Amino acid sequence: MKMVYPAIFYPEKEGGYSVVVPDLLGCNAQGETLQEAIQMAQDAALGWLLVAVEEKIEFPKMSELETIKIEEGKGFVSLLLLDLETYLKKYGRKEVVEKIVTIPTWLNEKAEKKQINLSKALQEVLLYKVTHEK
């Protein structure tokens, strides 16, 4: 699942950039180059979202770009594309919980014919539901 959040980039006098992700309270980063600042901001935002998933905290909605206030000439706003699913696979909790689920026979047969991994499919649907529904 990919998500987008705006970030405010502030050039620093001594070089580099500071970054604030206003929708994710306390999410800040910095980098010596713009590329590094973008990477650090993405990592900080993904870390914030990972904690939210693990703590069952609802994700904030993305602000409308026109509502983000910065002093003229002091910085600029850009969007961060965040691949939460890949980040969760890499850094999320590794322990698993075994569950017994039941599905109709006809659905199981169709899934087997298409070689669908039921555990993976269930994880994908659950991840979507916990991050998109109230």
Nearest CA-CA partner of 37 in 78, 66, 68, 74: 78
* Sequence spans of domains, the chain: 2-92, 96-134
Q: Is the pLDDT of residue 128 over 80?
A: no
Do β-strands 76-83 and 28-31 pair in parallel, antiparallel, or remain unpaired?
unpaired
Q: What is the pTM (predicted TM-score) of this model?
A: 0.69
Which of 56, 53, 48 minimizes the C-alpha distance to 5? Answer: 48
pLDDT of 55 over the 70 cut: yes
Class of 2-92 in CATH: alpha beta
**Region 127-131: what's the mean pLDDT?**
75
